[in-house]
Amino acid sequence: MKKSIVFLVLVVVFGSCEPMYKMKYENISEEMKPNLQNNDTVYFVNQQVNSVVDTFLIERYDSYLLYDRTRSLEQIYLTYRHINKQSANNINVHLLSANGIAVSGYTFSNNYETFDLEVNSIKYPVFTLKNTSPTTNTLPDSLYYSYKEGILRYFYSDTIYNRTF
């Protein structure tokens, strides 16, 4: 009985204390957060024949990653899931507040250097990602990615696919 009372007193005392550390939440900047939402549909047109070729359903998952006892990092996962399997496999994008972006199977070219890409007479700041092993998988050779709009263009060695809005 005495142990139970001591345990109860300890729980009350320590339960009412301030934590020894404060959690810091590190958010993805608004400039990097994509406009794409869960269940959005994204269409890509074959530039040579000017017809819709690829259709993706967006799966979005937002969460926080507990980095250590004092930091929690915002992260967003985007999966471009194929609706009609024409050209590419699913493409997975991971945004993390601490270090930017990662796309499965791709590496950055030009050190995140952005340039303007015109799509439907609108200019978007994009950067290029290159496939790490284009001969051994069926992912596109390169992607043009905009933080706000996601993938705007991708291409294989012989065909360019543009996103339509």
Binned at pLDDT 50, 70 and 90, residue 68 comes out as confident
- For 94-133, write each residue's pLDDT tens digit: 998 866 888 888 887 766 678 999 888 899 999 888 888 7
**Could you tell me what percentage of the chain is helix, strand and coil, using 3-state DSSP and rounding each to the nearest 5?**
10, 50, 40
Mean pLDDT (the chain) is 82
> Any idea of the CA torsion for 163, 108, 123, 154, to the nearest 10 degrees?
-20
Which helix (H) or strand (E) segment holds residue 80: the answer is strand 71-84
Q: Could you state, in order of their start, the residue ranges of all structural domains in the chain?
A: 23-164
Tokens of 65: 């990653």
Q: Compute the average pLDDT of residues 9-32.
A: 71
Provide the pairing of β-strand 24-26 with 71-84.
parallel
**What is the pLDDT, as a whole number, of residue 141?**
87
**What is the pLDDT, as a whole number, of residue 88?**
56
pTM: 0.79
Smallest CA-to-CA distance from 41 within 77, 10, 80, 88 is with 80
